[in-house]
Amino acid sequence: MRLTLFTVLLLLATICHAALPVELNKTFQPVDGVVIKGVDGEYLLDLGSDNGVRNGDLIAVMAPGETVKHPVSGAVIGQLDHAKAFLRIVRIKPDFAWARLLSPTAAIHPADPVRRFGEVPALLIDQSSDNQLLLNELQLALPHLAWQPQNETTLVGPGLIFTRDQQTLTVRDDAGSLLGSWPLTPKVQTISTAALLPIGKMTMIGPQFKGKAIGVAIADFDGNGEREVAVALDDRIEIGRYDGKVWTSLSRFTLPDAVKPLTLDSADIDGNGRFDLLVTAVRGAQLTSQIWSYDGTAFRLLAKDLPWFWRVIDLSGEPGVILGQATDPFDITRYADKPFRVLWQNDMPQKGDSITTFSAPTLHGSQPLTAEGKMLWAWLDSSDKLTILGDDGQQLWQGKESYGGGEAYIEKKERKSRDGMQRLFIRSRLSLQGETLILPQNDGPRSISNWRKADKSRLTALRWNGYEMEKVWESPDRDGYLADFAYGDMNNDGESEYLLIGTLATGLFNKSTSALFLWDGPKNP
């Protein structure tokens, strides 16, 4: 099953433009908060220096806009918020700040949501010949700003004015106060406008499974020396073996009542020679993660009600590290603290030391890379943009495309949300093979935070070239959602393959049906 990567080289070109400073994103990063109360003609906000907020920052007071309903079901899936007023930070403490109203006719009330630099008008003044290119990069880097057209030369009302003078980018507010100034480093790259064709053959194997796909793992779960496949669905886990032609079902067990799985990983956590199933799961608004292990006759719960997320990640020089991460004790939709090692002690999983070098904010959707002797982190942000972080957590690069697109989620009641719920979508798995990053890419609507539906999907591979991630290959598109993937010798023939699990494309009111897909992709990615 050997394949050839076909590419058509159309053109080589050298492009020179300015690289945006990494500090730009941090300086103008949006931060959400609320109005506490009005005080002597000013407003007290629950944003402070601990949130990265600074004196002079512009704050948008957000108001609910048009309700967005699904055109077929009529279900409310979100709303289009807008800025009803702007404030400027005038004094600041670690946990709160005072802000002055810049829109005198607006009515501001306690508990009104606010967002730092949310929908703040922004203008670029640049006489260079490539001014449109710089504007495009700024719009991609800071999409939450309300960018004015390139032909605009003045700003009416509160806002930000970006000015390029030779190779310096300066930002001032509408009052003329300096907010930042950075050198622009010329960025020269040689690019290939090659048409990268999908490679390989995607084949559905085994039966179709009733239910929503969650995860897949390849490992020796029963200790017989052969690898099995574990499939996590929205209410159960199924174990089987594939010999290259026939799928044999070996075991099936249902998760406890009201337990919803979110991710699936595998590792020999107790050191008995058999791989165990590590299931990140939730019951209502409480994490209740589990370990399932084969005891010689059946799969049984080895541990349950664990209050953390699971993920098995290859760290630098240390493959298959079992990591956990807790949630905020007051908000299950937020990750808390650094990920930590999970140890097996006294016949139970125990929380070990924190990974202090873990620069990505979340355990899910992250993977360390090594480039030029330095540790970098690939990470999917909350909008599923692939981001490269330095070992200090500073953003070095962010792509334009959306990757990931995981549909498993945690939810809690949220009074401010239009449908009464707030959801945290679990970021997709990132895997490193050599120097190549492998991750899913789901296409489909995800602009409204509480609803997603993938129309098409594929597996993609990218590689860091020193200044950005370059796409190396991608699998053929398939209709429907790609939930997870694994790379291993799943049919015990001595060669590793890609095994994908996804949900088949169905109608809006049809129950989900999932399947496994064997993809004969590149052997040495």
CATH, domain range 202-519:
2.120.10
Q: How many residues does this entry show for the chain? A: 525
Tracing tokens 């492998």 back to the chain, one arrives at 438
| 263 CB-near residues (< 8 Å, 6+ apart) | 214, 215, 232, 279, 280, 309, 310, 311, 364, 408, 426, 429, 484
Q: What is the pLDDT along the chain (525 residues), one digit of tens a residue?
A: 333 333 333 333 344 445 677 788 889 999 999 999 999 889 999 999 888 899 999 999 999 888 877 676 677 766 778 899 999 999 999 899 999 999 777 889 999 999 999 999 999 998 777 777 888 888 888 989 999 887 777 887 899 999 998 788 999 999 888 898 888 866 544 444 344 567 778 899 989 999 999 999 999 999 999 999 999 999 999 999 999 889 999 999 999 888 999 999 999 999 999 999 999 999 988 899 999 999 999 999 999 999 999 999 988 778 899 999 998 877 777 888 899 999 999 999 999 999 988 989 999 999 999 876 778 999 999 889 999 998 888 888 999 899 999 999 988 776 665 566 778 899 999 999 888 999 999 998 765 556 788 889 999 999 998 878 999 999 999 999 999 999 999 988 888 999 999 998 665 556 789 999 999 888 655
Number of H helices, E strands in the chain: 2, 45
Per the CB < 8 A criterion, the answer to whether 501 and 215 are in contact is: yes
Please name the residue ranges forming H helices in 286-330: none
| 319 CB-near residues (< 8 Å, 6+ apart) | none
Q: Is 11 left (phi over 0), alpha (psi -120 to 50) or beta?
A: beta
CATH 2.40.10.410 domain span(s) along the chain: 31-116
**Cα atoms in the 13 Å half-sphere on the side-chain side of 113:** 15
Q: Which CATH class is domain 31-116?
A: mainly beta
| Residue type for position 298 | A
**Tokens read off for 222:** 């029963």
pTM of the model: 0.65
According to DSSP, the residues that pair with 238 across neighbouring strands are 231, 252
Per the CB < 8 A criterion, the answer to whether 460 and 437 are in contact is: no
**Tokens read off for 484:** 């997870």
